[in-house]
Amino acid sequence: MSRKQQVPRPGGDLGGDDSGCPILHVDMDAFFASVELRERPDLVGTPVIIGAPGPRGVVLSATYEARRYGVHSAMPMTRARRLCPRATVIPPSHGRYSEVSRGVMEIFRTVTPEVEPIASDEAFLDVSGARRRLGPPAAIAAMIRERVAAEHRITCSVGVASSKFVAKLASQHCKPDGLFVVPADRVVDFLHPLPVAVLWGVGERTERSLARLGVATVGDLARTPVETLQRELGRSSGAHLAALAWGRDDRRVTPHVPDKSIGAEETFAADVDDPVEIRRELLRLSERVAARLREGGHAGRTVSVKLRRADFTTLSRSRTLAEPTDVARELYSVACELYAASGLEGALIRLVGVRVENLLPADGAPRQLALGERETGWREAERAMDRAARRFGRDAVLPASLVRPRPEEGRP
């Protein structure tokens, strides 16, 4: 569910000629909510909000009926409930969404191998190579929409254009359950009346900066000297937005984008100031991150810790290691040192996170035993834990400090 402004319908008559438009952007409509409604057909046509229960949840998805009350994704659940008290609230079932997402991506791959998923509910497709077999892009888009609806009982919207960025705007423009073509020679006509906030890379802050320059629409942006934009927004962002304003976007559809970082973070149900509890959470997160590193065959060199205070100010600290690692114990030890050096021991903390950057393949990663380190150590122990987890579930083997006491025993 996009948080961006809805792309308004442009004036004039667009649509039609798709000959220079090999890029498709497919976006599921209210994805999580639509998947839930398959199980709850009685709720179709009513306001439904998908969001984590608990005092600190946010909206993950909402039906269009709920959106009419102003509900949108990332909104605090407390506020969403106030705006739309009669909405049915359903806690998310991520496993089910992943399953549907995999199925939908499979449909895309029967059309072309050039599929770039950008989230569980959207993807870019380059259909240049599929034209002879399946027809023009708009026909391919219509076929995809039919198959997704028939095989998964959810709807999607498809934008067809000459570039990724315009295709994405086109799909937003025809939501929900639509198909829209922006002919290659009509890109500027389509873009210029739109508000700048619809552009990728223009969030709240950038919109405010642009407003100070008197820039409200993409057309205004196009007429602003690139030097002015660079001065206001930075070199790279300024040049990037100036290009987008004229529809220039030569990024290709790339099916395999390598991971750059892997991390995990957790917001406490209530703020915590006990360093023992914070370190226990750092261990849990390190275990999670390391398991995902190993699962993906990655090792990483830079470990970073994120700490969000009760007042929402956020601090991050990182350290680059001499050698890459995928071992939870090593991540945990660095994370604890970073936490200790942060000056926040004893401070009231709302969220902690652990992330590993500078990833490289674990196979090729150099590994030198530290002085006194045994050849069979944590790495092997954690691989054994991975095997146990695959057989018996993620919680089958845990570090002793993470084992919760059974109520009848009172101790771990």
Nearer Cβ to DNA (116/130): 116
Range in contact with DNA (rule: CB under 7 A) among 98-106, 143-151, 350-358, 400-408: 350-358
Nearer Cβ to DNA (295/380): 295
For the bound state, the minimum distance from the C-beta of residue 33 to DNA, rounded and expressed in Å, comes to 14
- Judged by CB under 7 A, which of 265, 337, 345, 386 binds DNA? 265
Q: What are phi and psi of 22, to 5 degrees?
A: -85, -5
- Judged by CB under 7 A, which of 41, 42, 95, 204 binds DNA? 204
For the bound state, the minimum distance from the C-beta of residue 167 to DNA, rounded and expressed in Å, comes to 12
Q: Which of residues 351-390 bind DNA (CB under 7 A)?
A: 351, 353, 355, 358
36 binds DNA (CB under 7 A): no
- Judged by CB under 7 A, which of 79, 86, 102, 252 binds DNA? 79
29 binds DNA (CB under 7 A): no
Kindly list the catalytic residues: 122
Residue with structure tokens 């229960």? 53
Q: Which of residues 317-346 bind DNA (CB under 7 A)?
A: 317-320
- Judged by CB under 7 A, which of 17, 220, 266, 337 binds DNA? 266
For the bound state, the minimum distance from the C-beta of residue 23 to DNA, rounded and expressed in Å, comes to 16
118 binds DNA (CB under 7 A): yes
For the bound state, the minimum distance from the C-beta of residue 132 to DNA, rounded and expressed in Å, comes to 31
Q: Which of residues 162-201 bind DNA (CB under 7 A)?
A: 168, 199-201
For the bound state, the minimum distance from the C-beta of residue 133 to DNA, rounded and expressed in Å, comes to 29
Range in contact with DNA (rule: CB under 7 A) among 106-114, 233-241, 325-333, 389-397: 233-241
For the bound state, the minimum distance from the C-beta of residue 374 to DNA, rounded and expressed in Å, comes to 27
For the bound state, the minimum distance from the C-beta of residue 131 to DNA, rounded and expressed in Å, comes to 27
Nearer Cβ to DNA (152/240): 240
Bridge partners, residue 158, by sequence: 26, 179
Nearer Cβ to DNA (17/268): 268
How many binding residues for DNA (CB under 7 A)? 64
241 binds DNA (CB under 7 A): no
First to last CA, the chain: 41
Q: What are phi and psi of 271, to 5 degrees?
A: -55, 145
SS (H, E, C) the chain: CCCCCCCCCCCCCCCCCCCCCCEEEEEECCHHHHHHHHHCHHHCCCCEEEECCCCCCEEEEECHHHHCCCCCCCCEHHHHHHHCCCCEEECCCHHHHHHHHHHHHHHHHHHCCCEEEEECCEEEEECHHHHHHHCCHHHHHHHHHHHHHHHHCCCEEEEEECCHHHHHHHHHHCCCCCEEECCHHHHHHHHCCCEHHHCCCCCHHHHHHHHHCCCCEHHHHHHCCHHHHHHHHCHHHHHHHHHHHCCCCCCCCCCCCCCCEEEEEEEEEEEECCHHHHHHHHHHHHHHHHHHHHHCCEEEEEEEEEEEECCCCEEEEEEEEEEEECCHHHHHHHHHHHHHHCCCCCCCEEEEEEEEEEEEECCCCCCCCCCCCCCCCHHHHHHHHHHHHHHHCCCCCCCHHHCCCCCCCCCC
142 binds DNA (CB under 7 A): no
For the bound state, the minimum distance from the C-beta of residue 314 to DNA, rounded and expressed in Å, comes to 5
Range in contact with DNA (rule: CB under 7 A) among 50-58, 99-107, 185-193, 273-281: 50-58
Nearer Cβ to DNA (16/201): 201
Residues 6+ apart with CB under 8 A from 358: 300, 301, 302, 320, 324
| Peptide bond just before 176 cis, omega within 30 deg | yes
List residues binding DNA (CB under 7 A).
Answer: 1-4, 52, 55-58, 60, 73-74, 76, 78-79, 82, 118-119, 121-122, 168, 199-207, 234-238, 240, 259-267, 288, 292, 301-302, 304, 312-320, 350-351, 353, 355, 358
